[in-house]
Chains A and B, each alone.
Chain A
Amino acid sequence: AAGVIQSPRHLIKEKRETATLKCYPIPRHDTVYWYQQGPGQDPQFLISFYEKMQSDKGSIPDRFSAQQFSDYHSELNMSSLELGDSALYFCASSLSGSVYEQFFGPGTRLTVL
């Protein structure tokens, strides 16, 4: 079965650089979520999109932005990177509605030097 695809899997950036993370949801899933997992931490919700519109917003820094495109893939844009942004970034997708489980991608490991 098709799963959530994330690219790149690993990314190394310098401080103050920008990064773009991509997420391709499971076909027919209309909702995409982004989570950030720091070392030894639980995943923290950043932002979500339903039918290409932002549906919920969590602890996402103003330096970050995201969008969902017409083909339902999503991109997380991160600017002015800081050392503390080093983390595992997960994308998840689901059908809309709280009863449906989210399926997570393998994550993008971002390292900021």
Chain B
Amino acid sequence: AQSVAQPEDQVNVAEGNPLTVKCTYSVSGNPYLFWYVQYPNRGLQFLLKYITGDNLVKGSYGFEAEFNKSQTSFHLKKPSALVSDSALYFCAVRTMNTGFQKLVFGTGTRLLVSP
């Protein structure tokens, strides 16, 4: 079975500081990893994905994530946080196995960026 873990329910960071939101995964086979962001009462917005290739993936709104196969991690990062980045962040995984097109989400991490 495939799964992702987001060990932090909440991350607090001051505006202008770097932020990291952690994600580890467990899959059989090669993982396809995704980050989504959810603002209150809104749908999930796609931020970035890792499929193959360069381990550092750049996405929307200045976010990036680093795929680390040995640590089975895919942490989300941003060099300088904005107050508007405050939201709920979900890591998700899927594999290329037939029928496994669904996304399996982590439990989410709430990011609070203080002014």
Interface 1/0 per residue, B21-58 and A, CB below 8 Å: 00000000000101010000111111001010000000
Q: How many A-B residue pairs have CB under 8 A?
A: 62
For residue A45, CB closer than 8 A to chain B, the reply is: yes
For residue B105, CB closer than 8 A to chain A, the reply is: yes
Q: Given that A104-B45, A105-B43, A106-B42 are contacting pairs, would A56 and B102 also be in contact in the complex, using a CB cutoff of 8 Å?
A: yes
For residue B13, CB closer than 8 A to chain A, the reply is: no
The answer, among A48, A90, A103, A107, for a CB contact under 8 Å with B101, is A48
How many Å from the CB of A78 to the closest CB on chain B? Answer: 19
When the two chains form their complex, are residues A99 and B102 in contact, meaning their CB atoms are under 8 A apart? no
For residue A79, CB closer than 8 A to chain B, the reply is: no
| Number of B residues, CB within 8 Å of A | 26
Q: Which of A22-77 contact B (CB under 8 A)?
A: 31, 33, 35, 41-45, 48, 50, 55-56, 58
Interface 1/0 per residue, B66-110 and A, CB below 8 Å: 000000000000000000000000100011110111111111100
- In the assembled complex, the Cα of A98 lies from the Cα of B69 at a distance in Å of 19
| Number of A residues, CB within 8 Å of B | 28
Chain A residues with CB under 8 Å of chain B are: 4, 31, 33, 35, 41-45, 48, 50, 55-56, 58, 90, 92, 96-99, 101-107, 109
Apart from A42-B107, A50-B101, 18 more pairs, CB < 8 Å: A31-B101, A33-B101, A42-B108, A43-B90, A45-B103, A45-B104, A48-B101, A55-B99, A98-B32, A98-B94, A98-B95, A98-B96, A99-B32, A99-B96, A101-B46, A102-B46, A103-B46, A104-B43
Chain B residues with CB under 8 Å of chain A are: 32, 34, 36, 41-46, 49, 51, 90, 94-97, 99-108
